[in-house]
Structure 1
Amino acid sequence: MLSVALACIVLCSGCAGSPAPTAGPTSPATASADPSDQDVAMARPGPFESTGDSPDILVQSPRPIDADLVARAAATQGVARLEQFSLATFYREGEAITYAAVDPATFRQFTPGPTAVLDALWDRVADGEIGLRPDLRTALAGPGDFVTLGNDDNAQRAHVAAYAPLVPHSAIGALLNERWADRLHLPKGNALVVSTRFAAPGPVVRRLRRVLGTRASVSLLAPNVVPDQALSAVLTGGSVAAAVGSFSYTANPDGTVDPEARWVRTHIRTERVPILGAVTCNRAMLPALRRALTRVVEAGLATEVHADEYGGCYVPRFIAHDPARGLSFHTFGTAIDLNVPGNRRGTAGTIDRRVVAILVRCGFAWGGTWRYTDPMHFELAAIRSC
């Protein structure tokens, strides 16, 4: 079993410092760490010493969890150990990536054994690099094993330390050290991972829910468990993410979600824009969409955007209605689908490329350039005039 797990771990070459040992197949990429990583480096954790803990429960909130609440959670019957960290989501090519900013010295206890004992991985995470789940390698890693942490034009980049299993039965796909929290504008300490060791985790979940109330959600980290309490959406990646806001939401059996009413009231608007008429979007996106469609009209291309084939903007749901894939970018109200019938996923699409060029110039990223194309899809990537 250990040898199988080790084969899933790939340490990348070319990182700062001395050459690293390898576990399993080595990466063909050779790259140096991004120079900007230096201001997020922290002390390396040193050799691993197991405490015997496992990740049994995840607690998350759109806002920091205060020290008093953490202390009450730690004192809850059945809680053997807990670790506070920061949790958020960024998007690349339509995929939601949940990531954690952690203390490498202590959080490693909650990762699978072969990952936890790999000192080189945790040293590199301390140095400012990113640990990535192996299944995300094709979708996320670019040339030289660098990952762009968002869809914004000014999104940060991190070099991959290793591809390794992370927190079992969780959506966490990437790990950074906790000094990234300031750079990525994370709500610090908005999550907890809890170990119950020898106690049954189900009753502990119920006790923690009584302790935390509506201030945080509590879910069991186990296969095929559907959360029955509000979850959290914290978007990061740049200026657009900061404008979009964070919220709690509840999941529905049909794959749709219900964001908290307070966030909807403050961020979602229905307004009229050229060509499409009334649209419901995030308030951060409406000015950019209005400018872009005005430029389309001015270019004499209004007939190339078909109002009767508009696929929506604010559509709160999971990607493909599958909770395992995370929230759709449409849940934040910062994406639109245009000319749907002729621009299905995996095709080149028929949308006029002059229209595409105008939207891109006005700050939108186009799904037609993705590895698995989505030519109907445009999402706000930068707030700029055009």
Structure 2
Amino acid sequence: MALARRARLTAGLTAGASALLVAALLSGCGTSSKDAGEKDDPTKAAASTSAVPTNALDPAHAVSAPGRFDGTQYGDDLLLVSDETLPADVLKQIVGITVGTGKAQKKGIAAYDLLSYGNFSVENKLYNIAAVDAAKYRAFTGSRSAEFQEQWDRVAGGEIAIMDRLQKEIPVDGEGYVEVGKQRLHVGAWSPAEVDAIDAMVNEKWGETLGLPEDNAILINTGIASPQAVREVIEKRFGVKRFSITALDIVASEGLDLKAYQNVIPVGAFGDAVGVFRYRPIGGGRIAPDPGWVKAHIVTEQVPILGTVTCNRYMMPQLKAALAEVQASKLADKIHPDEYAGCYYPRFIAGSNKLSNHSFGLALDFNVPGNQRGTVGQMDRGVVAIFKRWGFAWGGDWAYTDPMHFELAKIVNPG
């Protein structure tokens, strides 16, 4: 990733608008002793950094420390995500958007930050991750997070910060590490950041290692312009499917934006099997994936023991090989075809707006009655061992067990 490109944070597109916006935010939040008039160039203030920390836990992934927080804050109104780096001409068009007409016309974007954005899977739940420049991004994360200096120093030092709302949900091993796309990252902080569409954040070097698309997302503050009006201009100019646009006030209220198309950009083993997964929530916990993605990825085929299944075509060779080995090992009677609960079903996990790997056809549930969530279950351990050899993770190993569940963890070529 070209780190120099990440130096661009346009904060306040006119000096007057910037001063008004900063003054309003600081008077409401009381986060700085500086007079807003002293901040005539918030971009320079946001870019203040110091040298790479000498005590970084992961020196190979360390970047310059962000320095002390200067009090600059912006709201988080919209998150726009593309499946590739935003071209310079497209970015220029977005940043230059205006809303209204005549004397009522105004700038649509008061401040923005570019992020590298993607998704990772942990225990059958999909989470959003962003590679950020801590010195700039912190201004959008709310006062508690922005002032949490240790968090930003640790992110700069090569650790991951995970939102504190997920502390009881995302498993961390005994040494304080979490697995992201088959990489182990040390959890440096449980973050109070308020950008609800981002579950975890790392620095730019980790973004490169994880394979996140460079600068493919833009976090937007619309200032005095209506976020909905800005979104409508973006969708009119680029089409509703060019980007996924999340209205962050809707996410924060735990609702679902039924108008929004969303992109899933996986890191790790799922990259080839998922590609870019585009969907739209349609209510009732269901989603509508892009028909082109379904046509390219989802197939119905015959497999040993279970019979006809509908799954992701990239998983099918491993699934067939695992079931064939179960059969050859005289363990076929340990899998009950009449207790198979399916592979591909595009919907959110019950009671949440998180996708599971079933949405991509990369997980299957069988022997359901005797293997309920939260139990040890009755799954034959010989069957489990075979599935693990063929690249599957087993839900019975999880902190909150799901012993009926197997999901693709790595690509294994049956040869």
TM-score by length of 1: 0.85
Indicate how the Cα distance of structure 1 residues 64 and 279 shifts in structure 2: closer, same or farther if over 3 A, else same.
farther
In the alignment, is the contact (CA less than 8 A) between 1:38 and 1:127 conserved in 2? yes
Once the two structures are superposed, residues 319-370 of structure 1 have per-residue CA deviations (whole angstroms, 9 ceiling, x without a partner) of 11632xx111111111110111221111111222211111112111100111
Structure 2 Cα separation of the partners of residues 312 and 106 of structure 1: 45
Pick 1 or 2: higher relative contact order, CA cutoff 8 A, min separation 6: 1
Find the residue that maps to 1:39 and give its secondary structure.
Answer: helix
> Contact (CA 8 Å) 2:178, 2:184: kept in 1 or not?
yes
Query: Shift in Å at residue 251 of structure 1?
Result: 0.8
Q: CA offset at residue 17 of structure 1?
A: 4.4
Letter in 2 for 1:70: L
49-58 or 247-256, which deviates more: 49-58
Tell me which structure has the larger Cα radius of gyration.
2
> Which of 133, 139, 149 is residue 103 of structure 1 equivalent to?
133
Q: Which residue among 180, 183, 186 is the counterpart of 1:149? A: 180
Q: Distance in 2 between matches of 1:270 and 1:218?
A: 32
RMSD value, Cα: 2.0
* SS of alignment partner, residue 295 of structure 1: helix
Contact 1:166 1:173 in 2 (8 A): no
Check conservation: 1:315, 1:333, Cα contact below 8 A. Answer: yes
Number of residue pairs matched? 349
2:388 to 360, 371, 379: 360
User: 1:45-79: per-residue Cα shift (whole Å, max 9, x none)?
Assistant: 22222433111111123333222211111111221
Q: C-alpha separation between the residues in 1 aligned to 2:125 and 2:362?
A: 14
Correspondence 1:384 to 2:392 = no
Q: Give the whole-Å Cα distance in 2 for the aligned partners of 1:381 and 1:364.
A: 5
AA aligned opposite 2:202: L
Percentage identity across paired residues of the two chains: 42
**Equivalents in 2 of 1:164, 1:285: separation in Å?**
35
Please give the secondary structure, in 2, of the residue aligned with 1:179: helix
- Per the TM alignment, residue 271 of structure 1 is displaced from its structure 2 partner at its CA by 1.6
Superposition misfits of 4+ residues, deviation over 6 angstroms: none
1:209 counterpart = 2:240: no
Residue 116 of structure 1 deviates from its aligned partner by 0.9
Q: Residue 327 of structure 1: SS of its match in structure 2?
A: coil
Deviation at 1:225, TM superposition (A): 4.1
1:286-345 CA-partner distances (Å, limit 9, x unpaired): 11101100000001111211112111111111111632xx11111111111011122111
Aligned-partner SS, 1:351: coil
Q: CA deviation at 1:258?
A: 1.6
Note the residue ranges of structure 2 that are not aligned, 5 or more in a row.
1-27, 30-52, 99-107
The corresponding residue for 1:28 is none
Tell me, yes or no, if structure 1 residue 119 matches structure 2 residue 145: no
The AA in structure 1 aligned to 2:180 is L
List alignment gaps of at least 5 residues for structure 1: 3-15, 19-31
**CA–CA separation in structure 1 for the residues paired with 2:72 and 2:225:** 16
Kept in 1, the 8 Å contact 2:73–2:143? The answer is no
- TM-score, structure 2 as length reference: 0.79
Q: How far apart are the structure 2 equivalents of 1:76 and 1:140?
A: 42
User: Matched residue of 1:265: which SS?
Assistant: helix
Q: Distance in 2 between matches of 1:335 and 1:50?
A: 46
Q: Deviations over 1:116-156 (max 9, x none)?
A: 12333212211211111113223332222211114xxxx00
8 A contact 2:176–2:186 mirrored in 1:
yes
